[in-house]
Structure 1
Amino acid sequence: MDEAQRRKQTIEAGQTDLARWSDPKQLEPAWEARAATAAAFVPAGTRVLDIGCGAMALERHLPFGTAYQPCDIVARDARTIVSDLNVQSALPLSAVAQADLVVMLGVWEYIYDPAKLFEAFAATGKPILCSYCDAALTPDVDRRRTLGWVNDFTLQQFVEIACSQGYQATLTRQIDPLQHLIRFDRREPAAITARKRVHVISYNNVGNFGDRLGYHLLNEVLPPHAEVTWGTLRPFSPVPANLDLLVIGIGNSLFGELLDDQLLAATQNAKAAIGIFGTQYRAQLPAQKLGELIGRLSHWYARYEEDVLLFGRERTNVSHLGDWLINAFPMTVPSIDQPLRIGSQVLNDIPIDRTIQQIQRYKRTFSERLHPLLCALTAADQVGYVEQREMDGKTVSGKFRSMLVDIFGHTYPENIFWKVDRDAVTAYKAKVRANTDAMRTDIAKLLA
């Protein structure tokens, strides 16, 4: 009797082909490629139970630190757990319980009752990484019997059998012309939330430290399914249509020339719009246009309390966020005694992380820019500042005063050093963090 006929008779008898698998020559070298592919999906440190281990090729390709336990119908070495999965109650439950992952490569084609075996596995809750030769890829039943395969499922049918026992296919990949690699997990698949289109209009195209820092903070409060595009205030870049959310500002200031008709029109392109900004040069602000803009927003998260008192009073869609850039600055202890003066160099696209570290090294810091001063407040013993007068050389921006009143309850004179109240700074950080968390929740609701 030739080998093909012997295999068919074994299948007709409903038996496991012990004679075949007892012969090492039946373990084909070509199967190693499959093992190498499967090993790429095994994290280092995993405890692996390799059922149908054969020549144990999988072990050779597993990452460092993986614990390997072989299992087969015959002993391949002294470690091998011997088990015939076609025999009822033959699943090595103790070994399965100890494993993080069960691997079964080239096994399911030889199982007479896959549903019953999946049921047994399901009771353990263990994930399974396996292969299966899809009947759609090898439709000739006679050939499948010649190969010793006892069942003839399409990939979809095979997955449905596993799903009927509570498994979910979390990975499905065709790895060669005949077979797929599949991972089954005993859990509900992660819900896939539809992506939401978010567009941000800001000043992050300039080199200024504060205008760029907000870019990173905004990404931290958006939900994972937010698909973000970025535009600029100057030059004003076109705003995409059919947005789910428009964000105006990332903690920067709006002032006169920025409040124009194209900014107002941009709010019409989104289902919802929010503002994360403050104001400066307020006497020159076009108050009517600012009022129109605020009225079109779902919510304005105002940078300073003075912004709220001046422009958001009695509006239900306005709240005091605080200067949320302080979230990027940890409270720390400085080490350098000599004073640091910060001027226009912070406009030069210097690395943000190194800038924060450099500012926080100094015990005495004098700043001509707003957010480097805010950063210094989380570290320095003494600080000083000079207001910005970029409009005409005389008119102050007003934002330094607003920030100091926000944090300390009062302002300080320019051009002198004064002692930092670290308790007040810490309390302000806590307040802004709580307000930021509330804003994160609000944004999630808008994008639900």
Structure 2
Amino acid sequence: MSELQEILDRAADGGRISPEEALELYTKAPLHALGRAADAARRRRFGDTAHIATYLIDRNINYTNVCVTACKFCAFYRPPKHEEGWVRDLDDILRRCGEAVELGATQIMLQGGHHPEFGVEYYEQVFSAIKREYPQLTLHSLGASEVEHMAKVSGVSIEEAIRRIKAAGLDSFAGAGAEILVERPRKQIAPLKESGERWLEIMETAHRLGVESTATFMMGTGETNAERIEHMRMIRDVQDRTGGFRAFIPWTYQPENNHLKGRTQASVLEYLRLVAVARLFFDNIAHLQGSWLTVGKEVGQLTLHFGADDLGSVMLEENVVSAAGARHRSNRLELIHLIRKAGRVPAQRDTLYNHLVVHDDPANDPVDDRVVSHFSSTAIERGIAHPELRIVVAEAHSGGA
């Protein structure tokens, strides 16, 4: 038996592989053998429910595009005092939450720029208002970068900031701001952001305080293969201590309207190989999500054969990634169809990956054609999503709600 096959078999059986072995698999393992091993690891992990692949209905609400961090890959942000900067008022945010509930969303992801005036108090106000109006919505929002920023603005510790926004209604953190955690490439694309070690430290604090999260990876900004594996190693080490990452979500950098301008990108094959290696490497993270939004629906479907158990969400609104060029739209029925055509039974899930509706009979599939994802309304000139959602770009404001 070859050395590569031995590593594949061990990982498929649930054994731990080292970062060095993961790099060997990522760069040298035959594609089909890599996919088979990852799929075996997935089936082993999920057992009686391995025939199911999940999706989510949620809405990303961006509360401001004003940001002091100026990441080179971002096409969404505007610096403070820029004429195209805006802040959504609280009524606008609540209206969007109401529309999401009407369309069956179970989760809201609030994300935005690092506004120079937004401290912990701003987020307390927004979260408590949403929970008061829509207690059924899960607030899976923000990330370590926003926590670092709000704590600085308010002059409080990371721990106090997390405790306060949790008390106000935050249910879990998104993996936002991870990008790549390794120092060299992180400094190149986001020199003003906190270090990868600091990002993980904040997540570890959150996990200790009872706030779980996801972990993400934006690949294709000029990092090496070894740095891709190192990013996952850093996450796995924290997960060994906390168990607080419920999912790993890799996605690909989008090249439009930003300073990097697509000089570096990740190919479809690189992406699929990374998904498979992630399933084999993360013996301590339950879920792995394929990103149809950035790589397209057909590749998203393929990830279900490379270790992924989830296809992410029918995003009723998404402005950040699509502002950088992601143009893939979908709807609930199409995601259900993609999952079924991949040989799996589709199921709608909640934030904690509980199955809400299992679509085991096509005759009973939902027929609400309003549950549709859309292009960014800010990415296309005068662009608008589907009219029934009445999604518009908020008017500019000088301060927060």
| TM-score where L is the length of structure 2 | 0.24
* Structure with greater proportional strand content: 1
| Higher RCO structure (Cα 8 Å, ≥6 apart) | 2
Q: Please state which structure has a larger fraction of its residues in helix.
A: 2
Give the structure-1-normalised TM-score.
Answer: 0.22
